[in-house]
Homo-oligomer: A and B are copies of this chain.
């Protein structure tokens, strides 16, 4: 083909497709929390008790919601740094979206089996793979530098890529490992990740 512009993807459509997926994941997460059934329909006490038992599911939902928002922020940043979306980048982005769209499953699993280490390990491993997908996108961009915006500081980008390999997947795998000691420990690590990201990044106004 002799139409070079046809070889790349429209950044707007890739972003719209990704944003759609993020919006749906975030919203579907809450569907896992179903209305409890109680015998005495008018008893406030019975309903309050039944709702309290949903607490692990609600906490598990909030953690996943915040994690998906952190993913959105990372995705936004990486897209902002790209000038061109090649086929390779499209499919690495699809790989990221694959792991993202899987998140409702480990979230529901963790909500149902909050005391079962296997549930927490599955959650951690899926999110480690998701985090590693970001690193793969960064590494591909470093290999094909023409895809990056001209104002990108390559040395800084290299350092950030290395950090993303160590930091992202490693933290989630730590959570998975610690959940073998006690499931609540693993859960705390998972809850800490978005909280740290929100406040650390906001402090730096970045």
Contact = CB atoms under 8 A, between A and B. Distances in A.
A90 interface: yes
A133 B81 CA distance: 31
- Oligomeric state, in copies: 4
Given A27-B28, A33-B105, 15 more contacts: A6-B77, A6-B80, A9-B76, A10-B76, A10-B80, A16-B16, A24-B27, A24-B28, A35-B109, A42-B113, A47-B113, A48-B118, A66-B98, A87-B205, A88-B202
Contacts of A109: 35
6 contacts: A6-B206, A13-B15, A20-B22, A27-B28, A66-B94, A88-B202
Interface in A58-108: 62, 65-66, 69, 72-73, 76-77, 80-81, 86-88, 90-91, 94, 97-98, 101-102, 104-105, 108
Interface size class of A (residues with CB under 8 A): 35 or more
A16 B86 CA distance: 21
Contact of A43 (B27, B66, B116): B116
Interface string A169-206: 00000000000000000000000000000100110011
A7 B91 CA distance: 27
A153 B27 contact: no
B205 A42 contact: no
Nearest to A199: B91
A1 B44 contact: no
